[in-house]
Structure 1
């Protein structure tokens, strides 16, 4: 990984490399689902920053490192808000603790090895790599100063986020600490419509019961 690749002295910390966020629709759907559900999970905590496809510069000197844009990253202890990129020296020196990568056919073994080395060197605590086409999940946890691969994956609970991972025969499922599954925006909208319809039905039943009671001379 060449930290000076595409280096422009007039723009030493670019916010984009001109590449698409995702290589295909499945990768994009997973990226958005994980990012948005984490946003929902930590919506009430002003000190959890969640981002998708955002350049992370770990050190000031571009000759040393970076950047890399994780598919999804979580920085605990940093305030929410807009950023064009994540400059760690402006973020209290706090590295993102959790990173997710969603594989696509375009990801080479060298690219992923370089990313692992980068995340290992600059302080990531939890690293999740999911391959949707093969339905394979790789989990690495920082132990004794290194990102080490975990062997017991099914039912894994993130130490930092409290979310649970479950690999079925067909796909990966992720659950929040209350056991609610991560949903796509379409699934979430459908659930909200169902809940609104159920609430309306309950209200109608309550109104019918009240009418019957009034007809019998009782005031509900």
Structure 2
């Protein structure tokens, strides 16, 4: 009897063995972009944001993979994943990816990444070098290829609505409402300040209510006293 060999099960590792970042500056920018995008799309259950997550675009091939520093998959539900297996995600490729450069990145490596993202359907690809303050972007054109964005230093992402600004040796990312992306520490301080301001407003409103109630009670007392005096005057007549 001829035994048909069983196909070997393909394992898709959740880790590629590479560190998420080479230094604190690179890591800080990865966190800032990833966390602010999470906040921006917090109310949309069908926007998945991830940092340093392995993306496998082809079922059956665990060699073709990439781990963007930050990626956004619009149309996919939030939730934890060990990796992004595209065939399990409605065959939806991440539309937007970010790479934050470090001194260890090489031109050949970045060229391979750009080729991968172009080949597998990324619509917007952004690279920021925090050491050189250099920002570049690519946008998929009508012909279906990623093309260089000519003026990325003042550019708004078509997919995300966020705006990038590079001027006066400072790189800033703005939300659609104009508020800048902040570090988690800055966000925590901002939230605490807003809490304190809200509490102050509550106390002021409570004090105003108490003053109004006190004034109303005093008015009632005066009106009652006037009625008493009016009654006394009539009796005296």
State the TM-score, normalizing by the size of structure 1. Answer: 0.89
Distance in 2 between residues matched to 1:93 and 1:163, nearest whole Å = 25
- Secondary structure at the aligned position of 2:161 is classed as coil
Matching of residue 128 in structure 1 with residue 145 in structure 2: no
Distance in 2 between residues matched to 1:23 and 1:163, nearest whole Å = 26
Which among 135, 155, 177 is matched to residue 137 of structure 1?
135
Distance in 2 between residues matched to 1:24 and 1:10, nearest whole Å = 37
Residue 29 of structure 2: aligned partner: 30
Shift of 1:152: 1.6
Residues 12-40 of structure 1: per-residue CA shift (max 9 Å, x gap): 31110222111111111111111111111
Residue 166 of structure 2: aligned partner: 167
Residue 158 of structure 1: aligned partner: 157
Residue 92 of structure 2: aligned partner: 94
Shift of 1:146: 1.0
**Structure 2, unaligned runs of 5 or more:** 1-7, 219-237
Shift of 1:168: 2.6
Distance in 2 between residues matched to 1:75 and 1:67, nearest whole Å = 16
CA RMSD of aligned residues (A): 1.8
Residue 233 of structure 2: aligned partner: none
**Structure 1, unaligned runs of 5 or more:** 1-8
Shift of 1:172: 1.4
The number of equivalent residue pairs is: 210
Matching of residue 60 in structure 1 with residue 50 in structure 2: no
Shift of 1:74: 0.6
Distance in 2 between residues matched to 1:54 and 1:187, nearest whole Å = 25
Which among 71, 74, 86 is matched to residue 73 of structure 1?
71
CA contact (8 A) 1:132 1:171 kept: no
Which structure has greater helix proportion?
2
CA contact (8 A) 2:118 2:146 kept: yes
